[in-house]
A and B are shown apart, each in its own frame.
Chain A
Amino acid sequence: MSSAAAKKQRPKFLSFYALLFQIRMPIPAWCSGMHRISGALLVFPLTAWFLFLLDTSLASEKGYDHVRDVYLSHPIAKLGLTFFIWAYSHHFCAGIRYLFLDLNKGIELRPARASAYAVFAVSILITLYFGWRLWL
């Protein structure tokens, strides 16, 4: 076997640059990568932020009013909340997709790709809906 494959350098390590610009990842790969990134960011810092908001808003009426009328009306806080909504809904939808894949539902190429697209579509729609309610 003197094929070209045998001469290739192995193992091949993919850089972020290669992942983004040199190879074309299929949509389920993007879905999976975003599941990881959103998961990591939900653990830290988003959970800490939410516990802070819950703590302040439950501690006193003053705290509640401050969170609602001052803190969360700041554009940076709104941006953070919008990002949280995207991360949560993407992680949520992609997770449900994995639960179905575990049960051998939709594991063929076409439905697997379609459901990965659906994860992006649904999570972006959810983000747009709540973003619209938050900003307007």
Chain B
Amino acid sequence: MAVNRVVVGAHYGLGNFIAQRVTAVVMVLYSLIMLFVLMGGRPLNYGVWKDLFTQGWMRVGTLLFMVSLAWHAWIGIKEILIDYARPDSLRFSLYVIFILIIATYLGWTVQILWR
């Protein structure tokens, strides 16, 4: 029996919908914590800044933020490209470019945090 699987279009909506909102909430929390730390804490210098990012919770939290950003960004970019990027060949090329950009962000983040 032939399987007519549609390979273009946005047919995976609910998972994306939920992921977009969960990742958004993670980023809101991180943003508020970061704002609190930066504005409420000691005046910044290199020592304070470096110490902050060598603490375990900060490293894990920042990685969690960046993974959320990557996931959220991919869904968002895909939505935008589905709406505007024609023909499909251009859209798929842009998909590849953005996947590479977003994957680079993740690798770069790990490198920065665990240097």
Residues of A within 8 A of B (CB): 36, 39-40, 42-44, 47-48, 51, 54-55, 57-59, 61, 64-65, 88, 92, 95-96, 99, 102
CB pair B102–A58 under 8 Å, yes or no, is no
Other-chain residue from A51, A58, A88 in contact with B53 (beta carbon distance below 8 A): A58
Partner of A51, one of B77, B109, B115: B109
Known A51-B108, A65-B46; judge A92-B77 contact (CB<8 A).
no
> In whole angstroms, how far apart are the Cα atoms of A102 and B24 in the complex?
13
25 contacts between A and B (CB under 8 A): A36-B80, A39-B73, A39-B76, A39-B80, A40-B80, A43-B101, A43-B102, A47-B69, A51-B105, A51-B108, A51-B112, A54-B112, A55-B111, A57-B46, A58-B50, A61-B46, A64-B45, A64-B46, A65-B46, A88-B31, A92-B28, A95-B24, A95-B28, A99-B24, A99-B25
- Residues of B whose CB lies within 8 Å of any CB of A are 21, 24-25, 28, 31, 45-46, 49-50, 53, 69, 73, 76-77, 80, 98, 101-102, 105, 108-109, 111-112, 115
Contacting residues, chain A, for B111 (C-beta < 8 A): 55
CA distance in complex: A51, B73 (Å) = 15
Closest residue on chain A to residue B102 by CB atoms: A43
B contact residues around A48 at 8 Å (CB): 101, 105
Q: Are B24 and A58 in contact (CB under 8 A)?
A: no
Cα distance A42–B105 when bound, in Å? 12
Determine whether the beta carbon of B112 is less than 8 Å from that of A58. Answer: yes
Whether B31 pairs with A92 at a CB distance below 8 angstroms is yes
Task: Name the residue on B nearest A54 (C-beta).
Answer: B112
Quick one: given A43-B77, A43-B98, A92-B31, are A99 and B21 in contact (CB under 8 Å)?
Answer: yes
A82 to chain B, nearest CB (A): 17
Would B112 and A55 count as touching, CB distance under 8 A? yes
Query: Most chain-A CB neighbours within 10 Å: which of B46, B69, B80?
Result: B46
